[in-house]
Amino acid sequence: MVTHVRAEAQGDERGALLAFLEEQRGGIRRALLGLTEEQARTRPSASELSLGGLLKHVAEVEQGWVARARQEPPAVKRDESNWHECFQLIGDETVASQLAYWEKVAGETEAYVRSVPSLDDTFPLPNDPWFPPDERVSVRWVCLHLIRETARHAGHADIIRESLDGGTAFELVALEQGG
C-alpha cells in the first residue's frame, strides 16, 4: 500500500489535497471489506451502480485526469459506445485486481502532484464535446475535482454497502482496524 503523508505532518497544500483524496479513497475501499465478488457486483438499488463498478470507475477517472494533466491520453478511451463499462467489472476483472490498479494509480497521482513545479500550472482540456472549447485547468483544479469525484462515489458506496448487508461506515472502520 502506498504510504500517504498526513496533511498535519506535511503542512503544505499538496499534502492536504493528497490527504483529503486518500481519505475519500478509504471510504470506497472500506465499503468493499469482507464482501464476496458476487456481492461486490450486486446492484441492490434502482441504480445500475455496484461497489465493484464504483471502484473501477474511480480508479479509471483518477488515472484519466492525471494522464490529461501530463498531456497524455487516458489508459482507457471512453465514449458513448463503452461508457457503461466503466461502471462494471467485466471479463476477468476482480475487486482485487481493481484495488491493485487503483493503488498503482494513487501512487502515480501522488508522485505527479508532488513533482509539478506549481499547483497553478495548467493544461488544456481535450477537444471532447463535453469540455468547453479551448479551456485550461490547473493541477490544483484536478486535485479538487478528484476529491469531489471520489467523495461523491464514496457516498454512493456507503449506501450500496448498507443496502447489501447493513454495514455502516463506523462498523467498516472498526473492521478495517481489526475490531
Confidence of residue 4 (pLDDT cuts 50, 70, 90): very low
Give a yes or no: residue 164 inside a domain.
yes
Give a yes or no: residue 20 inside a domain.
yes
Give a yes or no: residue 2 inside a domain.
no
Alpha-carbon gap, residue 62 to 127, rounded angstroms: 19
User: How much of the chain exceeds pLDDT 90, in percent?
Assistant: 72
* Rounded mean pLDDT, 67-79: 92
The domain tally of the chain equals 1
pLDDT tens-digit readout, 89-123: 999 999 999 999 999 999 999 999 999 999 999 99
* Rounded mean pLDDT, 75-98: 91
Give a yes or no: residue 144 inside a domain.
yes
Q: What is the CATH number of the domain that holds 58?
A: 1.20.120.450
pLDDT tens-digit readout, 28-59: 999 999 999 999 999 988 888 999 999 999 99
Residue-number span of the structural domain to which 83 is assigned: 7-176
Give a yes or no: residue 149 inside a domain.
yes
* Cell numbers for 86: 466503466
* CA dist 92 → 55, 81, 87, 96 (Å): 15, 20, 15, 11
pTM: 0.89
Whose cell is 447489501? That residue is 164
Q: What is the pLDDT of residue 10?
A: 54
Q: What is the pLDDT of residue 114?
A: 97
Whose cell is 479513497? That residue is 25
Give a yes or no: residue 138 inside a domain.
yes
Give a yes or no: residue 1 inside a domain.
no
Give a yes or no: residue 148 inside a domain.
yes
